Structure 1
């Protein structure tokens, strides 16, 4: 009985410790170019996430992660990540109210556009940081191309 209780308490502590540790790692990843941040995609820009890192963050956040699709409305209408909010740069003012209805300052955000060569996700991420003061904002490096090929979360 004592052993079982100790195991349950240890599991409870692990459950409480893992999410902050993962976010701390990703926060360091977003703010530095440390060697541990290098992925098989070579050195990504400091606030970019590989698909594997995005999957890890999605698992840790279990539903609180906010996905933003920065592609044009027609591309979003054709197909998008199931919970993503469309926030294209060209329609920023019209689309922003929907984002604000779902976002809180502590809620982490992953922005994506069509692929690694698309700059829209970077533009949206910069505006979120600058205009809303959002701190936990990352860009999915390979964008919709990666999401389409893999099942997230």
Structure 2
């Protein structure tokens, strides 16, 4: 039976890898569910409230950034959001190539950086990315990666 030394204190049997992983995953899921049960309904409600608050904050920050685009007369043609963790969300804003190459976009980056920095805490983190989309961006790939569209994308905008 082949054995790989993982560290000086633990052997890892590769013949039983599938069973070991299944048992470890089952134990992890069981512990997770037990934890929720032992914490009780109040913790679950607090968790749900914090998650809803984080999503609402993210949508408000997206509106703030899109408002800045409009003030600068720059176009946004799509917005996507992804829940990385309950306290961490990622946002992708898509813009036409002309907007992507416009020097005024640096002002938008300044705003997004400021939002990311000022809003960061143990309970909340947001990350903005801006990319161009003149019709070639694969929205299905974004969805497969966990992003959800908040605006209907506009091609060649």
TM surpasses 0.5: no
TM-score after normalising by structure 1: 0.30
Higher strand share: 2
Q: Larger Rg: 1 or 2?
A: 2
